[in-house]
Amino acid sequence: MRVAAFMSGSGTNIIKLLEREKRLNTERGASPFQVIFISSDRSDGSCQGEKIAYQNGIPYFSYDIRTFHRLRGLPRRVDIPEGLAARREFDSLAKRLIEAFEVDVIALGGYMSYITLDRCVNVHPADLSVLVPDGKRKYVGDHAVLDAISAGETILRSSTLWTDQGVDTGPLLMVSDPLKVELPEPLDSLLKDRERLLYLAQEHQERLKEVGDWKIFPRTIEMIAQGRFA
């Protein structure tokens, strides 16, 4: 299975995916998937994609989404027609790369942009099996860890999913082992200090990567390549 890795920042999930590919090649003689190239929506030097690609001897492409919107004077919103049209225009380059490299699956490892392409697997820092009474997922979006801690959750989990047109609404694939929420003082007092609560949420999210994201993200890609998801 040919995989394109999309990222925006440190790329630790992509690093773990590449490590899993190498481990399978060494231990089993072959990996069922191969990362063909890395792509980023950041070209301002803040993304580690080029370094990761260089270290692993694979191609790297970057196309800065902020510059794209700024030069065109287009809103970076997908909830309005012109914003969604702009997003599709931005993705058209990646679509041509996907076709040219004959990619089967796109692995979104810390890719912080809405994407309109098909066959994308994302990893999300929350348990997407937790629902609200109307059946919708409770912890979606960029602030899922903060939302979960603020709601009084005592454990956190990561999830992998196929993406669709919604935000973290696609078919759920895997849910990780739990990370215990550890707060230095009662939640009621922390809710009055948003800056400190934000710091604690970020700290938990970094710890969650180790017990959650870095384990289920490579495993999900491997299992898809093995045909173990219908």
CA separation for the pair 35, 2 (Å, rounded): 6
| pLDDT at residue 73, rounded to an integer | 87
Provide the whole-model pTM: 0.93
| pLDDT at residue 78, rounded to an integer | 83
Contacts of 33 (CB under 8 A, 6+ apart): 1, 2, 3, 21, 105, 221, 222, 224, 225
| pLDDT at residue 45, rounded to an integer | 87
- 122-136 core/surface letters (b: 16 or more CB in 10 A; e: else): bbbbbbbeeeeeeee
Task: List average pLDDT for each run of 10 residues in the chain, which is 230 residues long.
Answer: 96 97 97 97 92 97 93 84 90 96 96 91 96 95 94 96 91 97 93 93 96 97 94
DSSP secondary structure letters along the chain: -EEEEEESSS-HHHHHHHHHHHHHHHHHS--S-EEEEEEES--SS---HHHHHHHHT--EEE--HHHHHHHHT--S-SSSHHHHHHHHHHHHHHHHHHHHTT-SEEEESS--S----SSEEEEESS-TT-B-TTS-BSS-STTHHHHHHHTT-SEE--EEEE--SSSS-S-EEEEPPPEE---SS-HHHHTT-HHHHHHHHHHHHHHHIIIIIHHHHHHHHHHHHTT---
Contacts of 50 (CB under 8 A, 6+ apart): 40, 60, 62
